[in-house]
Amino acid sequence: MLNFNKNICYAVFGNPINHSKSPKIHNFFFKKYNFNEKYIRICASKQFFLKEILNFFENGGKGANITLPFKEKVFSICTVLTKRAQISGSINTLKKNNIGIIGDNTDGIGLLTDLKYKNLISKNDNILILGAGGAARGIIYPLLKFGCNIYITNRTIQKAKILSKEFLKFGYIKYLKLNQLHKNKFQIIINATSAGISDHSSLVIPSNIFNQKTICYDMFYGNTDTNFMKLCKNLGSKKVYNGIGMLVNQAAHSFFLWTDIFPKINDVFNFLKK
């Protein structure tokens, strides 16, 4: 069992977790808004992560973020779900209150806020999502609601099929096999596979779906370009982004759930660059 210091009230749980910038962002917010709380990262055991999260909340934890590979697996410890967590089937934020544990998903709204802020997205855009796991689940609903058409492909195509069926009631969504991709035009391609983190991608994307204007967005990030970003640049795209903007925006929405304060985010980017 993990032992927690008294003012460690917030944490991100994942495995692996060393890459996470969430502690930096949230500790920045807590300091800025004069909270005497700490946010740490916890590498949870793949077998006992539910127990570890419950242990955290029993020992003074007030809120948590959940990341790879647990986002679809924490439902059983939630007492209440927000609508966006319910619809997405994926949870990235937990909050403890006197009723129990609230499960929320701020990934989708975080991504959409960033795409809008960067002026990258328009209604009716065709968006290709690579991947059909928890990360993909979290972003589909807000993109559909915004009015985009979603195409989804995945190494295991059956999972893309299931996901597209599930979200059909919210808008235009279709799954495509790799050999069908070239028949479509995509304004935005989003990497929602965990390939960059674990190993190299075995999802071989046809090069002819990229052009200079294709917006390529990796939901993940690193200190340098991710494998997906390198690939997109090599294939000619001039508009390639990592997921830092999404990360900061989803964090802001989580912080709001925990504290009722929506933090200003502009100065966080400068802080992260340092």
Cβ distance to ligand ATR smaller for residue 61 or 134:
134
Q: Contact, 101 vs 95, CB < 8 A?
A: yes
Q: Does 201 bind ligand ATR (CB under 6 A)?
A: yes
Question: Can you tell me the distance from the alpha carbon of 101 to that of 55, in angstroms, rounded to the nearest whole number?
Answer: 13
Cβ distance to ligand ATR smaller for residue 29 or 106:
106
Cβ distance to ligand ATR smaller for residue 162 or 168:
162
Question: Can you tell me the distance from the alpha carbon of 265 to that of 251, in angstroms, rounded to the nearest whole number?
Answer: 9
Torsion sign (Cα): 22, 27, 29, 35:
positive
- Residues with Cβ within 8 Å of residue 211, at least 6 apart in sequence: 236, 237
Binding span for ligand ATR by CB under 6 A among 16-24, 149-157, 169-177, 262-270: 149-157
Question: Can you tell me the distance from the alpha carbon of 267 to that of 213, in angstroms, rounded to the nearest whole number?
Answer: 29
71 labelled catalytic? yes
Q: Does 242 bind ligand ATR (CB under 6 A)?
A: no
| Catalytic residue chosen out of the listed positions 62, 71, 96, 177 | 71
173 class by beta-carbon count within 10 Å (0-12 exposed, 13-18 middle, 19+ buried): buried
Q: Does 80 bind ligand ATR (CB under 6 A)?
A: no
Residue from 52, 72, 166, 225 binding ligand ATR (CB under 6 A): 72
Binding span for ligand ATR by CB under 6 A among 80-88, 103-111, 131-139, 165-173: 131-139
Q: For binding to ligand ATR (CB under 6 A), which residues are involved?
A: 68-69, 71-72, 131-135, 154-156, 159, 193-195, 198-199, 201-203
Residues acting as catalytic residues:
71
